Structure 1
């Protein structure tokens, strides 16, 4: 005998969605806003290239390492309880980042911050699944969630540029404190509790997770270096560099919102493989950048790649939820986000190999940086193209049934079978 999800009020649904989206935006922004602040951090804390790179990698690696265990723990102990712990942890760590006296203190604080982010990421999809029944309402919620992931990452350079230029680089971390406190209060008041009485391993296919890894290791990772190109080579201010991303951000939001209806007419295999292929195309379009190019040289490629990501993110989130029961949604979300965050961390590290270390800081050779950036863009496009092949080959259109949220045993839904 199964227990259906209890009916949730409209206010509960809306505020839960608001809390999840705001928190997710904060987590993604804490990767992207740092990009435009790196030159200022380097000057203020007298940081070298290696220690500066760990400002990003310490956060994403800690997040990726902890998110799987966090999802399993949340399923057992309660997703709302875990979410509250994550909010308190992340907010406190953000304050430590803002007060960092040295670059190594900042790197350590970013790792601590990443652990709190792991707990929040692991709970986000599970909280949505608990309050939204499958159908149009859940599809719309996932579209908003997907738009938040991509949009926050894309608008991050602009936000980071504004805060750095108008205030100080420390403001990019201070701003998390009031946001964290407000979302904490909303969570305690409105978000319902849910847990798994019999937790077990999630059944999310590894091939699909390798699709999640591909977009993070390519598009999202390369943003670090395109932002440095705009500032250090084209000599744009942090705000000007952030504004370059704005049209692509708008495109991502618009496309992500439209995907609520897309899954009814387009197979997921087609949506995922085509979106990753377009990401690869967009990255290749950006290789035309030169040391003396216009500040808009990256824009066409950014729009194509970000619009494609607007399709990928909500479709991928829907598959993760569709292939796990309500009881195990936290673990499933944790696995998904582990691959996503690992992809960003690995991508930033690997793509950085193409750029000479001295060219990454102000005063370095513009031509050396551009040559390295072009190589990094080609490598990122290859990763996205590889993800395209994985989706096209591993997702077959043969339907099968699987338990879904709401009724873990009797309710079923059709989705493409996965082959290994």
Structure 2
């Protein structure tokens, strides 16, 4: 369990550890807002694009083997990130790092599901969910400490010794799993490529839309290509004998509810976190450590709820758990949407803590449902699909809310600055001080007040939109699970895993 959780902690920390380091990266490598978005988004997108393929490889070649390979790729890519001479190198290395993380992420849930059963399985999911919730929220704290004490590059160097320990523990303690015996099963390469093009094209179009505009060819071409690729992906999966994603899984209400819960929760809560970090550092002038500590109540609340729900809810109800988790997450994010020009960082703490309570429950319930609603031989696919939706939710959240932030701030600055659109991009990327320094000396005080008000308005729009999305999705999950009852569907093969080697370990 420790070996699996080490890998989970690392790969999820690296989703958010970069957030408080973005201003330092911008100054060090002269980055634009779009490039900073790709540092955060490229990793999550690569994880999402590779997860389904990694899940199938795990079913075909053994989960421990794929998990260990992912650890190795992750460590090497982390070194490449730390040595980056420019933003292009850093973004490329983050994409490779995401591929390694995908191999780890796609196998963690299925490894847990094959090693534990009954009440112990619920407790194991609770531990895993606590680690997942803590990692996502502690990332900014750790990133702030490393950036302030050493340099932003150390947020990547620190992965190497932890990976080495996780790799040793994996070979020492995690038993080998028996690969699928069906010799006709092969990796669905066309499906993998189509899904990567579709997801990547959508995020690329959304990320660049605030620079090019929605009607520009640079936005419409990748958007159209992405939609065509996704349509083709669905067609290929429906005809394939051994699909990358078994679309019939979505006929199970509990499985569909789990996917909606984790994707919307990630998008709403963590999709706006980069812009919250920018506000804390560029408007509140907190240090990277200070900005990370503001998020600490979220981490503590999420971890506490995940552990408690795992202890008392070994078979969580999708109707109660997912609905309540999403509703609390949405309520907490909405509470962050009432900043004023003179607001300080304490205005965020209550909302962050409340959204942490919701996300702790979301992590626990969604993971258990995703694995508990499928048969044993689809464990890798279910784990990969769950993790894919989790990372896609984050990637799309960052991209969509980035576009919304620029458009909202641009409208707020019309008539107040010469180029409101360019100023909005600079402000969203943490460049408030640069805008103020470039103004005439006599206008700097008034401009600073204006920018603080504009950023608060933009952040409020993001938070209220994200909160409404989460609460509306909670209602949708409640509707979808109206006939589910208090327990998830029986999980074929989970009580008695078919793998005798895993049974011998106490699974």
Q: Hey, what's the Cα distance between the residues in 2 that align with 1:122 and 1:329?
A: 9
**For residues 5-404 of structure 1, what are the structure 2 equivalents within 5 Å?**
17-132=1-116, 134-194=117-177, 195-198=179-182, 202=246, 203=249, 205-263=255-313, 267-355=317-405, 356-360=424-428, 361-362=430-431, 363=433, 364=435, 365-395=451-481, 396-398=483-485, 401-404=490-493
Q: Hey, what's the Cα distance between the residues in 1 that align with 2:397 and 2:316?
A: 30
Partner of 1:290, secondary structure, is coil
- TM superposition shift of 1:397: 3.0
Alpha-carbon distance change, 221 to 295 in structure 1, aligned in 2, over 3 angstroms:
same
Q: Hey, what's the Cα distance between the residues in 2 that align with 1:116 and 1:265?
A: 31
- TM superposition shift of 1:402: 4.2
- TM superposition shift of 1:382: 2.2
- Structure having the larger proportion of residues in strand: 1
Q: Hey, what's the Cα distance between the residues in 2 that align with 1:279 and 1:26?
A: 24
- TM superposition shift of 1:294: 2.2
Match in the other structure for 2:494: 405
Match in the other structure for 2:230: none
Alpha-carbon distance change, 42 to 123 in structure 1, aligned in 2, over 3 angstroms:
same
Q: Is this contact kept in 1: 2:126–2:311, CA < 8 A?
A: no
Q: Hey, what's the Cα distance between the residues in 2 that align with 1:301 and 1:52?
A: 26
Q: Is this contact kept in 2: 1:217–1:348, CA < 8 A?
A: yes
Q: Tell me the alpha carbon deviations over residues 323-376 of structure 1, each in whole angstroms, 9 at most, x when there is no partner.
A: 122222111100001111001000000001122312122325332222111111
Q: Is this contact kept in 2: 1:269–1:391, CA < 8 A?
A: yes
TM-score by length of 1: 0.89
Larger Rg: 2
Q: Hey, what's the Cα distance between the residues in 2 that align with 1:79 and 1:172?
A: 28
Q: Is this contact kept in 1: 2:298–2:356, CA < 8 A?
A: yes
| More divergent stretch after superposition (33-42 vs 366-375) | 366-375
Q: Hey, what's the Cα distance between the residues in 1 that align with 2:426 and 2:456?
A: 13
Q: Is this contact kept in 1: 2:297–2:356, CA < 8 A?
A: no
Match in the other structure for 1:416: none
Q: Is this contact kept in 1: 2:316–2:365, CA < 8 A?
A: no
Partner of 2:70, secondary structure, is helix
Partner of 1:47, secondary structure, is coil
Q: Is this contact kept in 2: 1:271–1:312, CA < 8 A?
A: yes
Q: Hey, what's the Cα distance between the residues in 1 that align with 2:36 and 2:25?
A: 8
Q: Hey, what's the Cα distance between the residues in 1 that align with 2:364 and 2:69?
A: 26
Q: Tell me the alpha carbon deviations over residues 74-125 of structure 1, each in whole angstroms, 9 at most, x when there is no partner.
A: 1101101101110111110000000000011101110111111111100001
Q: Hey, what's the Cα distance between the residues in 1 that align with 2:464 and 2:91?
A: 29
- TM superposition shift of 1:51: 1.1
Alpha-carbon distance change, 97 to 244 in structure 1, aligned in 2, over 3 angstroms:
same
Gaps of 5+ in 1: 1-16, 410-420
Q: Is this contact kept in 1: 2:339–2:460, CA < 8 A?
A: yes
Alpha-carbon distance change, 269 to 262 in structure 1, aligned in 2, over 3 angstroms:
farther
